[in-house]
């Protein structure tokens, strides 16, 4: 590992300028902090966090709509624990539960389906969040719900797709990134092909990287070699898990139940074809079609820099609210909620 670190220092110095690499995945953000990766990197190399935390990019409107669904009569809203504290316009799902909504934490989509089976007289809405890693699991649960003819199971899909978000960043004039540390988990599903536009259309190198310290350092080294040699391609460092073509069965499940749609990303805005909505033939499972889900949402808090953090324009300590009004116990922005959020990671390891 020392040899890799020495080479990283040498290549960075040889570049003659500050280089900025973005780790897209929230799991990478946490691993980089936990293993002290930044402490061994040269001064001329910056690591920026990106929009790879599904909790962080869930929009205020989506949270408001989930809260509205939880308030429907004879309805149970099932969600992952991290989503409970994500701020909407007027509170979060914990607040909704304190006001009488039946909101329950589950650990998997299967738990939500089981909840519906055990409560046949109630409608159970699963707040389906996450990227390409979790959407095949939700598709599989929909398949199971069909087989078992579970009529009271619904989902509210706010699933998002990573490649369109990266395209949005690359067309943003404020975003300055020299290369991408691409997510390992997402890439086990989709493979490297959906990222090829990064190198082809924008001339930026990218490396799909694992999560061990050696993986991350090797991914950084592979990026630096491309940058110094003025090359751009999508490489796979995480070869023990990621293959060309991805996981075809998982992709077929996604394509069977979902279709791409335009969705709003917190801090970034609406990105075309970056979300997944249920296909029309499965509309009986779609909570947004079964219920009236119109909501009036407020904009992001003015002083919150979550949007700039998610785009790699600011580091969390540059936000005026960081560690003051905004803490993990009382988050103002979504980046402080999840353990994978950049603000929460900075707070845990720097405060």
pLDDT (tens digit, 9 = 90+) per residue, 218-253? 999 999 999 999 999 999 999 999 999 999 999 999
- Quick one: pLDDT at residue 292? 83
Dig out the tokens for 234 from the structure: 């999508």
Query: For 299-337, b where at least 16 C-beta lie within 10 A, e where not — what string?
Result: ebeeebbbbbbbbbbbbbeebebbbeebbbeebbbbbbb
Task: Write the burial class of residue 237 (CB in 10 Å: 0-12 exposed, 13-18 middle, 19+ buried).
Answer: buried
Residue 322, classed as helix, strand or coil, is strand
Lowest-confidence region among 102-116, 131-145, 280-294: 280-294
Stretch 252-258: mean pLDDT:
97
Q: What is the torsional sign of CA 119, 124, 127, 128?
A: positive
pLDDT digits (tens, 9 = 90+) for 1-12: 889 999 999 999
Going by C-alpha positions, the residue among 10, 64, 349, 50 that lies closest to residue 206 is 50
pLDDT-derived band of residue 39, with 50, 70 and 90 as boundaries? Answer: very high
CA distance 232 to 200: 8
- Quick one: pLDDT at residue 181? 98
Strand order in the sheet with 179-182: 45-52, 19-25, 179-182, 206-208, 234-236
Going by C-alpha positions, the residue among 331, 265, 306, 296 that lies closest to residue 92 is 331
Dig out the tokens for 208 from the structure: 């799909």
pLDDT-derived band of residue 351, with 50, 70 and 90 as boundaries? Answer: confident
Domains of the chain (ranges, CATH numbers): 2-52+162-236 (3.40.50.11750), 56-152+271-290 (3.40.50.11740), 306-350 (no CATH)
Q: Indicate the DSSP class of residue 195.
A: G
Stretch 39-62: mean pLDDT:
94
Stretch 319-347: mean pLDDT:
93
CA distance 247 to 241: 10
């Amino acid at each position: 590992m020392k040899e890799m670190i020495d080479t990283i220092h040498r290549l960075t110095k040889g570049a003659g300028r500050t280089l900025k690499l973005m780790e897209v995945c929230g799991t990478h953000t946490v691993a980089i902090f936990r293993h002290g990766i930044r402490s061994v990197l040269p001064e001329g190399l910056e690591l920026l966090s990106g929009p790879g935390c599904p909790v962080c990019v869930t929009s205020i409107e989506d949270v408001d709509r989930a809260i509205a669904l939880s308030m429907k009569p004879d309805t149970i809203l099932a969600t992952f624990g991290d989503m409970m504290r994500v701020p909407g316009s007027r509170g979060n799902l914990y607040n909704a539960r304190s006001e009488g909504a039946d909101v329950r934490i589950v650990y998997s989509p299967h738990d939500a389906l089981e909840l519906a089976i055990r409560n046949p007289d109630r409608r159970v809405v699963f707040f389906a969040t996450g990227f390409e890693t979790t959407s095949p699991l939700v598709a599989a649960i929909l398949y199971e719900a069909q087989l078992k003819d579970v009529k009271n199971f619904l989902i509210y899909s706010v699933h998002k797709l990573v490649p369109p978000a990266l395209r949005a960043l690359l067309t943003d004039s404020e975003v300055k990134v020299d290369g991408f540390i691409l997510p390992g988990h997402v890439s086990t599903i989709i493979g490297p092909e959906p990222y090829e536009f990064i190198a082809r259309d924008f001339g930026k190198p990218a490396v799909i990287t694992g999560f061990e310290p050696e993986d991350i350092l090797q991914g950084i080294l592979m990026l630096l070699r491309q940058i110094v040699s003025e090359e751009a391609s999508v490489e796979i460092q995480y070869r023990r898990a990621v293959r060309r073509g991805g996981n075809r069965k998982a992709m077929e499940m996604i394509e069977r139940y979902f279709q791409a749609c335009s969705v709003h990303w917190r801090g970034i805005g609406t990105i075309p074809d970056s979300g997944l909505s249920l296909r029309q033939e499965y509309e009986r499972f779609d909570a947004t079609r079964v219920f009236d889900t119109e909501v009036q949402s407020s904009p992001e808090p003015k002083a919150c820099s979550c949007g700039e953090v998610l785009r790699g324009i600011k580091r969390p300590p540059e936000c005026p609210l960081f560690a003051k009004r905004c803490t993990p116990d009382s988050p103002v922005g979504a980046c402080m909620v999840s353990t994978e959020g950049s603000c929460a990671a900075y707070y845990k390891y720097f405060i």
